[in-house]
Amino acid sequence: MDLRRDVFQAIADPTRRAIITLLAVHAMTPGAIAEHFNSSRQTISKHIQILTECELLKQEQTGREIYYHLNPKKMKTIADFIEPFRNMWDDRFNKLESIMKRSINNPSGKKK
Protein backbone atom coordinates (compact mmCIF):
# COMPACT_ATOMS: atom_id res chain seq x y z
CA MET A 1 0.00 0.00 0.00
CA ASP A 2 1.20 3.48 -0.80
CA LEU A 3 1.98 5.87 2.01
CA ARG A 4 -0.72 8.44 2.33
CA ARG A 5 0.49 11.68 0.86
CA ASP A 6 -1.63 14.67 1.66
CA VAL A 7 -1.20 18.34 2.44
CA PHE A 8 -1.52 17.77 6.16
CA GLN A 9 1.19 15.19 6.24
CA ALA A 10 3.32 17.62 4.29
CA ILE A 11 2.95 20.46 6.73
CA ALA A 12 3.18 18.25 9.84
CA ASP A 13 6.98 18.47 9.68
CA PRO A 14 8.80 21.65 10.78
CA THR A 15 11.51 21.35 8.10
CA ARG A 16 8.88 21.03 5.40
CA ARG A 17 7.04 24.05 6.77
CA ALA A 18 10.33 25.96 6.65
CA ILE A 19 10.84 24.93 3.02
CA ILE A 20 7.33 26.18 2.18
CA THR A 21 8.11 29.48 3.89
CA LEU A 22 11.34 29.83 1.90
CA LEU A 23 9.62 29.10 -1.39
CA ALA A 24 6.80 31.50 -0.60
CA VAL A 25 9.31 34.28 -1.30
CA HIS A 26 10.67 32.96 -4.59
CA ALA A 27 11.42 29.78 -6.53
CA MET A 28 14.70 28.06 -5.58
CA THR A 29 16.98 25.25 -6.72
CA PRO A 30 17.30 22.18 -4.42
CA GLY A 31 20.89 23.25 -3.63
CA ALA A 32 19.83 26.74 -2.57
CA ILE A 33 17.08 25.27 -0.36
CA ALA A 34 19.51 22.83 1.29
CA GLU A 35 21.92 25.67 2.13
CA HIS A 36 19.32 27.03 4.57
CA PHE A 37 19.39 23.88 6.70
CA ASN A 38 21.92 22.00 8.79
CA SER A 39 20.47 18.67 7.67
CA SER A 40 22.17 16.68 4.93
CA ARG A 41 21.35 17.49 1.34
CA GLN A 42 19.84 13.99 1.10
CA THR A 43 17.42 14.68 3.96
CA ILE A 44 16.33 17.94 2.38
CA SER A 45 15.76 16.33 -1.01
CA LYS A 46 13.60 13.70 0.71
CA HIS A 47 11.49 16.53 2.18
CA ILE A 48 11.31 18.20 -1.24
CA GLN A 49 10.23 14.90 -2.73
CA ILE A 50 7.37 14.52 -0.20
CA LEU A 51 6.24 18.10 -0.79
CA THR A 52 6.30 17.48 -4.54
CA GLU A 53 4.32 14.22 -4.19
CA CYS A 54 1.73 16.16 -2.20
CA GLU A 55 1.69 18.61 -5.11
CA LEU A 56 2.57 21.48 -2.81
CA LEU A 57 5.69 22.12 -4.91
CA LYS A 58 6.09 22.23 -8.64
CA GLN A 59 9.29 21.72 -10.59
CA GLU A 60 10.36 24.03 -13.34
CA GLN A 61 13.33 23.48 -15.62
CA THR A 62 15.29 26.65 -16.33
CA GLY A 63 18.33 25.89 -18.47
CA ARG A 64 20.29 23.20 -16.62
CA GLU A 65 18.75 23.99 -13.24
CA ILE A 66 15.55 22.72 -11.65
CA TYR A 67 13.66 25.32 -9.69
CA TYR A 68 10.98 24.50 -7.13
CA HIS A 69 8.07 26.83 -6.54
CA LEU A 70 4.85 26.69 -4.51
CA ASN A 71 1.68 25.36 -6.03
CA PRO A 72 -0.85 27.94 -4.78
CA LYS A 73 -3.81 25.80 -5.87
CA LYS A 74 -2.84 23.02 -3.48
CA MET A 75 -2.14 25.44 -0.64
CA LYS A 76 -5.79 26.45 -0.87
CA THR A 77 -7.00 22.98 0.19
CA ILE A 78 -5.91 23.80 3.75
CA ALA A 79 -8.47 26.61 3.68
CA ASP A 80 -11.07 24.16 2.33
CA PHE A 81 -10.81 22.03 5.47
CA ILE A 82 -11.89 25.02 7.52
CA GLU A 83 -15.37 24.94 5.99
CA PRO A 84 -16.61 21.72 7.70
CA PHE A 85 -15.06 23.00 10.97
CA ARG A 86 -16.88 26.32 10.54
CA ASN A 87 -20.14 24.50 9.74
CA MET A 88 -19.80 22.45 12.92
CA TRP A 89 -19.51 25.57 15.08
CA ASP A 90 -22.20 27.37 13.11
CA ASP A 91 -24.64 24.49 13.79
CA ARG A 92 -23.78 24.54 17.49
CA PHE A 93 -24.17 28.30 17.75
CA ASN A 94 -27.47 28.26 15.83
CA LYS A 95 -28.74 25.74 18.36
CA LEU A 96 -27.41 27.81 21.26
CA GLU A 97 -29.19 30.89 19.91
CA SER A 98 -32.56 29.18 19.47
CA ILE A 99 -32.37 27.53 22.91
CA MET A 100 -31.61 30.83 24.61
CA LYS A 101 -34.30 32.67 22.63
CA ARG A 102 -36.80 30.18 23.99
CA SER A 103 -35.59 30.94 27.50
CA ILE A 104 -36.29 34.67 26.92
CA ASN A 105 -39.90 33.73 26.21
CA ASN A 106 -39.91 31.41 29.21
CA PRO A 107 -37.72 33.33 31.71
CA SER A 108 -38.19 31.01 34.66
CA GLY A 109 -36.13 28.48 32.72
CA LYS A 110 -38.53 25.74 33.78
CA LYS A 111 -39.62 23.24 31.20
CA LYS A 112 -43.33 23.37 30.49
Residues that bind another protein (CB under 8 A): 8, 11-13, 17, 20-21, 75, 78-79, 81-82, 84-90, 92-97, 99-101, 103-104
Least separation in angstroms between residue 42's CB and another protein is 23
Least separation in angstroms between residue 27's CB and another protein is 18
Q: Would you say 54 and 43 are in contact if contact means Cβ atoms under 8 Å apart?
A: no
Instruction: Give Cα 82 distance to the centre of its chain.
Output: 10
Helix, strand or coil, per DSSP, at residue 25? helix
Which residues sit opposite 70 in a β-bridge?
A: 57
Least separation in angstroms between residue 36's CB and another protein is 16
